[in-house]
Structure 1
Amino acid sequence: MECRGLSAGYVKQRPCVREVDLALTAGEITCLLGPNGAGKTTLLMALSGLVPRDAGEVLVGGNGIGSGRPRETVRAGMVLVPDDRALFRQLTTRQNLQLAIADRARRRSGVEQILEYFPALEKRLGVAAGRLSGGEQQMLAIGRALLQRPKVLLIDELSMGLAPVIVTEILAVLRTLTTEEQLSVLLVEQHVHLALGVADRAAILVHGHIADQDTALAFRDDPERVERAYLGG
């Protein structure tokens, strides 16, 4: 995935993110860091088509995607896991997963595939999504996104409200999936050290602009570089 000169916001011509250039590579996780209010969620919403773009272009596999067209974005292979997970809380875990599979003949095998990645969901298939723990809900949200066979996976605030041990478990699965399925993952995460520990690359968004980007290793080796970007140094 690549975006060039992307500007977007919730009021026309008053962008929250401005002239963002960002490229994702297959088989890699890129973490998007930045302080609260930097525009990270807005950027993901614009990439996924849920917020129209004021300027710029978004490409998946070299093909452009129209502005404000979430269905077209999903068909192109880019899927968003939002920070609120957007589950159907009254439906069961199984039903939430099945809704992501258009081909009825593939529903059973699709659910079984997700259980291989997240075995904790197996005993919760008949439970309403609203009754799952926070960790189980996040597993379900990611599993549902994976069933749409994405090339690019956008995940907003993966660790929000979750115990560290659950976050570590989910990140390990995500790392495996990214490598085995050659996904491109853009991960928004507030916990800097956690994100840099699993990512291949990192970009820091401050006041709607990309303040710095490099390999995750480069940021891990120079923690003050992250601080300078956050503080506008």
Structure 2
Amino acid sequence: MVKTQTIEKVDQLLEVSNLSVFYGKLQAVNSVSFQIPKGKVFAIVGANGAGKTSLLRGIYGTAQYTGSLTFNKAAFTAKTNRFKSGIAHVPQGRAIFGDLTVKENLSIGVLGIKKKTNELEYLLNLFPILETRMNKQAGMLSGGEQQMLAIARAMMSRPSLLLLDEPGMGLSPKLRMEVYESIRRLLDQADHDMGILLCDQEIGYALRIADQMSVMQKGQFIWSGEAGSVSVDELSTKYMGLKA
């Protein structure tokens, strides 16, 4: 009697097929394809100028692109409102409003959302330092606190997919680790199906929290696989051309 193997069906949150991103005639991303399952962190690592930020902009619809994007089994067009569809984007540099208080910044995260969410208590438990800063101007926060605020603001809309661009940039190693650990907890403790797409230069930190990973170079993926199947040294030397 032949035994049959049961193959677990993976529920894909985002499916990207042959995505290319352009700025006028300049092509920044060249025919990239990947999938993000629900409940997973997918990391894309690469040096400055590799095309990581452009890829995020293409997915979020803020840059011209070709190819297909399917999110929660629905096809996106250039006119699809990503935010209302359930995607939140934390850009490089955080983009918080420095003159507004922490509380006011968080409230911006639900503007335009008809169905109000109740994420504040959960997010303040995840980032307890923010609860002590609610009436403080965001521009007066430390770099790590500002990054936590940017992530919390994005999560206020209860997104299904969170796009993160260089969340550890400019932070000390200690603060950077706190931010990355909070990102993983955010996904693991979420009470709804979601996924995270992380774009980063920090290979070691990305490997700590990612489930799947791709290395990007000159707008293309040159390696993809399970994050646990590769070491920091191998990624650095073999795929990114850095010295060990």
Tell me the TM-score normalized by structure 2: 0.86
1:27 maps to 2:27: no
User: Hey, which of these two has a bigger chunk of helix by percent?
Assistant: 1
1:229 maps to 2:242: no
What is residue 131 of structure 2 aligned with on the other side?
A: 122
Pick one of 193, 196, 199 that aligns with 2:210.
199
Q: Distance in 2 between matches of 1:143 and 1:24?
A: 21
Q: Distance in 2 between matches of 1:172 and 1:202?
A: 17
SS in 2 for 1:6: strand
1:36 maps to 2:53: no
Displacement of 1:225 after TM fit?
4.8
Q: Distance in 1 between matches of 2:95 and 2:202?
A: 22
Q: Distance in 2 between matches of 1:106 and 1:135?
A: 28
Structure 2 runs not aligned, ≥5 long: 1-13
What is residue 168 of structure 1 aligned with on the other side?
A: 177
When residues 104 and 213 of structure 1 are mapped into structure 2, their CA distance, relative to the original with a 3 A threshold, is closer
Displacement of 1:114 after TM fit?
1.7
When residues 7 and 112 of structure 1 are mapped into structure 2, their CA distance, relative to the original with a 3 A threshold, is same
Report the count of equivalent residues: 226
Displacement of 1:120 after TM fit?
0.5
Structure 1 runs not aligned, ≥5 long: none
1:86 maps to 2:95: yes
Aligned sequence identity (%): 32
SS in 2 for 1:138: helix
Q: Distance in 1 between matches of 2:188 and 2:119?
A: 19
* Structure number with bigger Rg: 2
SS in 2 for 1:24: strand
Q: Distance in 2 between matches of 1:43 and 1:190?
A: 14
SS in 2 for 1:16: strand
When residues 122 and 225 of structure 1 are mapped into structure 2, their CA distance, relative to the original with a 3 A threshold, is closer
1:218 maps to 2:238: no
